[in-house]
Structure 1
Amino acid sequence: MSDKLNDTVEEPLTTFKEKCKNCFKGPNLIKTIVVAVCFSLVIYQISACVRKLIEKPITTYTHFDFNKTIAYPSITVCREPPYKYDKMLEHGLFAHPRITSTWETYNFSYPLDQLWNEITYNSSEIFAQYGLNELMENVEVKTFIGFLYGRCYTLSPKILHTRATKDSGYSITLQHSAADIASTIGTSPPGYHVYIHYTKEPFTEVPVYNGGLVDYLHCKVGETIDVKLLVNQYVMISNTDDPCINDDGYSANNCATRYVWNRVGEIVGCSGPWMLNSLLPYCSNSTMMRKLIVNYISVCPRFCRSYMYNGFVNDRHTFAWNTATRQWTARIGDATMQTQGFLLGLSVIGIMSIMGKFWSTFIKPGSKSSNNTNTDLKTALDEKTFHNNEDACKEKDVKSIFKLNYR
């Protein structure tokens, strides 16, 4: 009886050991390794989550703020070409003012501020209409006088909006002259430079720290652009090594611009009409004007809170000016994208059909043959096991009979 009890106790232990050995034999080894790696990764992730719950991180965090109102950005529009060519010829200027050689023929007895008023464009010559949520009263227009882009205009919202739809937002229509299309003195094709930026940071020609937070679009003559906005807010923590300012009245753009003006004034000893509120007199000769046209940038403190607006062009149509009919005509080129999309769809369908044929021709028959082979092998093993079990049973019967007779 004791021998039978020992046999029944040792059988489960032997079966468990055999199963463990089988986990490291043949293809089971790969399965065991994969399961072990996955189990280790799960344990690591759980331990990392527990550590974060115990020791909460304070460096960075992500959260969502659902505001009831929407603050639209400011939009600065600069004309290209920025100066009136006919007015410039009257004063002896034959090219863009940034070309220093053009100032050699200018009569500096004529005041530079009056020159800038004559050769730049006013708002009525740029805007055909504009508005925010279909109303002009919701927009504040400010003038910016620069050197590279002449006189620019910044449109800022007066109200906070409560919904964001395609029918809401800015709607701006700009106008151009036919003479600019025929002959231009600008450095870019005729059109408008459009800058989308934070309302607290006015537009400037001087590159500053957060100049990358200004999105730029170039609207050519005869184009209609539909833009979708995406806004991201970045909050910086001020410290002694890298300070920032959280004052609503501060502007890094104005700081950098003023610094450049002061530096240029100290070097040259004169100023230009775009350098507002400067105590220095205007330049009186071409040599001083040449020195004044220098780009310089310096370090200014950054604003702690900034907004970055990204514009996505949803729709764009190109129109061509027909000199015979004196009308704008649309260019037929939209069918090209539709044809490309159709061909792309056909190519994807073709690839899928090729993969299906490859599976049915090569992989599926191979899987069937392997299954049949495994079935035959399994049947043979079962028969062999059955015969071994019969022999074992016979040996056990002989032993038991022998013991019984012995007693």
Structure 2
Amino acid sequence: MPFQKLKKCFTSPKKLLKLAILILCIFFSIYQVVKCVEKLMHPPISTYYGFHLNETIRYPSVTVCRSPSFKTDRFSRFGLRRNSDLSIHNAFRFFNFNIHTIEYFLNDTTWTFDELISSLAYNGYGYPIADVKIVEFHSVTKGRCFTLTPKSTSRTLSISGGWWFYLKHNFTVRSLDLYGMSTAGFHIHLHDDNEIMTSEVAQENNFMEYIYLEAAEDMRMNLKIQEFTKINTNESPCVHDNLSYSKSKCQELCVQKQIAQRLNCTLPWLWLLDDDSNLPQCSDATSVQQLISLFQPHFIAIYCTSNLITYMNEMLGYNVNGFVSDIGGSLGFLLGLSVIGFITVMEKILASLIRSYFKNKTKTDVKERDLRSGQLNNLKHMNKNPEYLHRKNDVHLYDNLRDFESDDFKCYQNTLVVSDNRY
């Protein structure tokens, strides 16, 4: 039954035109729907810049480490050589594990909070009145470090509303390293509340701002805050919806868990591990040295730390989809033209062309019919005239040539038929 109805579409040009336009509209609608579904499944991400005038400012966390990182004059108490680096090979070879632990060694040979920071203030309030959280941890290369995180925002947009630190140092002789920097100073990292300082030598992957403050140096820093929010997409599932997610903490915790599982023991340097991990403290030089060596880089890594790329690209600002949208919107709004109206207009245009074609064809047929009718009438007239009947069929006769320019001769020329195909 549907096939029979489909056949009727080919019976007239009007129905055939409707079928063709309907098929085109169906295919174009399917194309548009597919494109819309693709955009819905993989929505394009646009990055825009904006400005906010906040009434309050959330200051970043500050991590402070001292340089030199250890009290090397006390190393001899634990069997270590004076002024030795803990990362060198067999640094703990003569460490007396029967008497001391690594935790006691680190607490005794590193700088406490009071030895590092004489006073601090945040948002106009000094410590301990200032609403600040302090986290202490140990690093293999930088000793004991302290992370200070503000618990509240600041309403004062001036020097009195931010951080104030008075740092202490007991250096007596200024010495320089290979880069011309003083070996007596402080390593300061500015970072987000959720980020931490990892065991990496460079902290570029942790969204940190690094500052080295030499001893007896004053510094004032004016902060400009930029915020970048990423969208969790199917192509980047590593972005977590939880606001407390920390990329650096996740990476460092993974590294520390692998080290602890490999050595089957733990040390204060693995400070992110839970206290209920049920792992014993490492109590031999081999385990300690293996743990320290696992923190040291033995490879070169070439990589990108950010996917933000500045680019300039020329592209067409108008395509077929935009053209169809503009035409459809303009004609539909201004003229009220729709697909049904477009079909009606095309039907009228096609019908007008067909009528014009058949009208011209009819005029041509009428002219041909009138011409044939006139020729037949002339032939009948010549048959009735005895003068034409008694003439001989010879073009050389004078009687046949004398009326060469007359109308009778022209009529005779059109109607005379000879047996040898000559006039």
Shorter-chain TM-score bucket reads 0.5 to 0.7
Mark the CA change 1:150 to 1:163 in structure 2 (over 3 Å): closer, same or farther.
same
Partner of 1:175: 168
Q: Which residue of 1 aligns with 2:265?
A: 270
SS of alignment partner, residue 249 of structure 1: coil
Greater percentage in strand:
1
CA distance in 1, matches of 2:203, 2:133: 26
Equivalent residue for 1:78, pick from 50, 65, 72: 65
Residues 139 and 269 of structure 2 are in contact (CA less than 8 Å); yes or no, is this contact kept in structure 1?
yes
2:110 is matched with 120
Structure 1 position 126, deviation (Å): 0.7
TM-score (norm 2): 0.52
Once the two structures are superposed, residues 65-112 of structure 1 have per-residue CA deviations (whole angstroms, 9 ceiling, x without a partner) of: 222111001111001111111222211122121223321121122211
More helix by share: 1
The TM-score normalised by the length of structure 1 is 0.54
For 1:141, the equivalent position in structure 2 comes to 134
- Among 65, 80, 84, the residue aligned to 2:52: 65
- Structural mapping, 1:245-260, within 5 Å: 245-260=240-255
1:196 aligns with 2:168: no
Q: Tell me which residue corresponds to 1:164.
A: 157
The root-mean-square deviation of aligned C-alpha atoms, in Å, is: 2.9
> Contact (CA 8 Å) 1:206, 1:256: kept in 2 or not?
no
Residue 191 of structure 1 deviates from its aligned partner by: 0.7
SS in 2 for 1:171: strand
Q: 1:102 aligns with which of 91, 94, 97?
A: 91
Deviations 1:346-386 (A, max 9, x none): xxxxxxxxxxxxxxxxxxxxxxxxxxxxxxxxxxxxxxxxx
- Aligned counterparts of 2:228 and 2:253: Cα–Cα separation in 1: 25
SS at 2:253 equivalent: helix
Counterpart position of 2:291: 292
Q: CA deviation at 1:59?
A: 1.9
- More deviation, 265-274/128-137: 265-274
Quick one: structure 1 residues 61 and 248, their matched pair in 2 at CA, closer, same or farther if it must change by over 3 Å? closer
C-alpha distance in structure 1 between counterparts of 2:74 and 2:249, whole Å:
30
Q: Aligned partner of 1:101: which letter?
A: N
Q: How far 1:210 sits from its partner (Å)?
A: 6.8
Query: How many angstroms apart in 1 are the aligned matches of 2:259 and 2:163?
Result: 37
Contact 2:190–2:209 (8 Å) recurs in 1: yes
User: What 5-or-longer segments of structure 1 have no aligned partner?
Assistant: 1-56, 298-407
Distance in 2 separating the partners of 1:210 and 1:239: 24
Contact 2:197 2:203 in 1 (8 A): no
The alignment of Structure 1 onto Structure 2 pairs a total of residues equal to 240
Distance in 1 between residues matched to 2:195 and 2:173, nearest whole Å: 31
Partner of residue 256, structure 2:
261
Tell me the residue number matched to 2:143: 150
The one-letter code of the counterpart of 1:144 is: F
